[in-house]
Amino acid sequence: MLKKLENWAFYIFLFAIPISVRHIFWYEPFNFVEWTAVYIYGTDLLLLVLFGFWFVNWKTDNLLKTGKWKLITKPADWFLLAFVVVAGLSIINAHDVQTAVFQWVKLIEGVALYFYIKDYALKRFSLSKGFVALVLGGAFQAVIAIAQFMTQGGLGLKYLGESPLAPAMSGIAAFYVNGIKVMRAYGTTPHSNVLALYLFVALNTFYFLEIENCRKDLPKGEKLKIAQSDWWWHIFHILILWAFLLTFSRTIIGLWLITFIIRSILIRFYPRFRKEFWDDKEMRRRSLKIFWTTIAVGVLFIAAYWPYVANRSVISSADEAVQFRVLYNHESIASGHNVFGLGMGNFVPWLMTQNLHLDREVYQPVHNIYLLIYAEVGIIGLALFLLFLTFLLHDFYKRLGFKKLYHFSFSLVIIAVLIMGLFDHYLWTIQAGRLIFWLVLGLLAGAE
């Protein structure tokens, strides 16, 4: 019974990652700054439940049987733990100590999720069923996102964490076409880019389930055959892809397109995978169905929304988004931080003391997680974090050697996510983005 309850809690957690239900402590409507808020999300509570099961089972399986804890540690893990320590030390420089302590706790939560995924979840739960939960979560978000875009407004789903949405609102993710402000799709996330990130993961898990997970050489019990008659499964794919495009998130859509093309080339032309996925009639049929469905959806979307696509395809230095990114990046580099930085979560409080006359919504974190880490944790913290990522990727290559297609797929996804971090901050500062970031890193670290 407890095992089944734990399974459901884990799959519900994956489904609920983009659901932004939260309680904000000491909320002041007229003086609220998102980046200095203290809050708890529904997904935090789900994580606490999962960590509780982890502790009980780990204690039962290891401590009582062997008399000691079994910790799986590699060089990457030590660099990560050292980074957490340095991030904690950065609090001594914080202008806003409460925010620094809270953001350090959120970092510890993310790191705990990383260890939970790589050392426990991948051995405890079905990878396939976990991916199904992500696809179902993506389909659920897609329906909401499509309805939002069609109505150009929110659906009143405040109990699912949906933000108040309208094109006329300031700070909304939108763009102008022929003088008309067009709101991008949000789902139940706080920003279109966060929705795009979750749908990016959902699309890649769909590809795994539909193609790679149907191979004959997978361990018994890990295959999740999707029957040819399950038309609804491919309806989910179309919905997710359509909603993904409605986010108009240029960086994430561009990275998805690149990874999709690379995976297609590997299946069709790389000798080892061509024999496995192309020469096999069933695998070729599945691959072609996804390929041509994607092409059809893309062409239809461009035809239906050509003025919007043309507008978002052009990046100008005069764009407000570009100008703000330049501002934040310049401030993070030019402010002269010491070895321990400004303190976790303290870039925005510091920026508010440097530029006193900006609109409130302009005070945001650096739109580059690496520069943000440098600003808040210092050069030592950034070096440790980059060493963690380097050893993590090296260990993945050394351990698996890219012998299977999913080895390439996993690495493509994580590299794409790391590149996303060069252009925005949601992987480090927003709940859903943070959970996805540590989840995919844990998946990479524990993949076999």
Average pLDDT across each block of 10 residues of the chain; the chain has 448 residues. List them in order: 90 97 90 90 97 84 51 83 96 94 98 95 90 96 98 94 90 90 96 97 93 56 51 91 97 96 89 78 85 96 96 75 69 70 91 75 87 93 97 91 82 95 94 97 90
Contact 156, 177 (CB under 8 A): no
Quick check: pTM over 0.75?
A: yes
Return the pLDDT at 315. Answer: 76
The Cα 367–Cα 97 span in angstroms is 22
Q: At what angle do helices 306-313 and 281-304 cross, to 10 degrees?
A: 90
Return the pLDDT at 182. Answer: 96
Contact 134, 14 (CB under 8 A): yes
**Cβ neighbour number for residue 252 with a 10 Å cutoff:** 25
> What residues form DSSP beta bridges with 24?
39
Return the pLDDT at 50. Answer: 97
Return the pLDDT at 376. Answer: 94
Torsion of CA 246, 247, 253, 256, to 10 degrees: -90
Return the pLDDT at 224. Answer: 54
Q: H/E element holding 77? A: helix 75-89
Return the pLDDT at 63. Answer: 47
What sign for the dihedral angle of Cα 269, 272, 277, 280?
positive
- Report angle CA 423, 429, 431 to the nearest 5 degrees: 120
Return the pLDDT at 318. Answer: 61
The Cα 228–Cα 285 span in angstroms is 10
Return the pLDDT at 404. Answer: 81
